[in-house]
Structure 1
Amino acid sequence: MKMNVEQAAALWYKEQMELAEGDALRVFVRLGGCGSVHPGLSLGITKETPRNAGLQQEVEGITFFMEEDNLWYVGDKELRISFDSQYEEISMQVV
């Protein structure tokens, strides 16, 4: 189980969410959306302080994390957060 946040994605979040160095973003499982791992579920993101982070990575001064109780969504795979410059949007994939 691993988290891989690309630098371009971190920079996009910093700009779009007006984040400062030291802020944290929680990746969480939500009902609905277009998730490819578990039908009817997808991933969301919110600015929040970690309580019991199971996965985390700091990029561009921002801590991206997933709480331990949501790790079942990723399983033994890798969560990749990237920025698609062609469509100017974030991609979250479990591979």
Structure 2
Amino acid sequence: MKFAVSKQAANWYKKEMDLDNGDYVQYYLQIYGGIPTSHPNYSLGMSIGKTENIGVKDEVEGITFYFNDDNSWLFNEYDLSVVVKNGELEFIFTNNED
């Protein structure tokens, strides 16, 4: 189970979303529409703010990126890296059972 946000991606969020140190970015799973995932029919959504039940997190450049407990099942089979490629965010899912 690995969730990693690169420094470049954290700085992208800070610039593009006007985030400050201490802010939280929550990713969550939704059916259809959004950032594609490794699971068919599921996509990632995101919101700014903190919930009470953080399950998986990565703190980078003063920002906490996380999934709550209800969505952390994604990491039973897959690792997720958030990086910047060609100036855009890229979400890389890899099977952690290899």
User: How far off is 1:94 after superposition?
Assistant: 2.0
Answer whether contact 1:24 1:49 (CA < 8 A) is retained. Answer: yes
Answer whether contact 2:27 2:47 (CA < 8 A) is retained. Answer: yes
What is the SS of the residue equivalent to 1:25? strand
**TM-score (norm: length of structure 1):** 0.88
Identity between Structure 1 and Structure 2 (%): 34
Q: Over residues 21-45 of structure 1, what are the superposed CA-to-partner deviations in whole Å (9 max), with x where a residue is unaligned? A: 1000001112213524111111122
Matches within 5 A, 1:15-94: 15-33=15-33, 35-84=36-85, 86=86, 88-94=87-93
**TM-score (norm: length of structure 2):** 0.85
Divergent runs of 4+, >6 A: none
RMSD: 1.4
Aligned residue pair count:
93
Equivalent AA in structure 2 for residue 4 of structure 1: A
User: How far off is 1:16 after superposition?
Assistant: 0.7
Q: Which runs of 5+ in 1 are unaligned?
A: none
Q: Which runs of 5+ in 2 are unaligned?
A: none
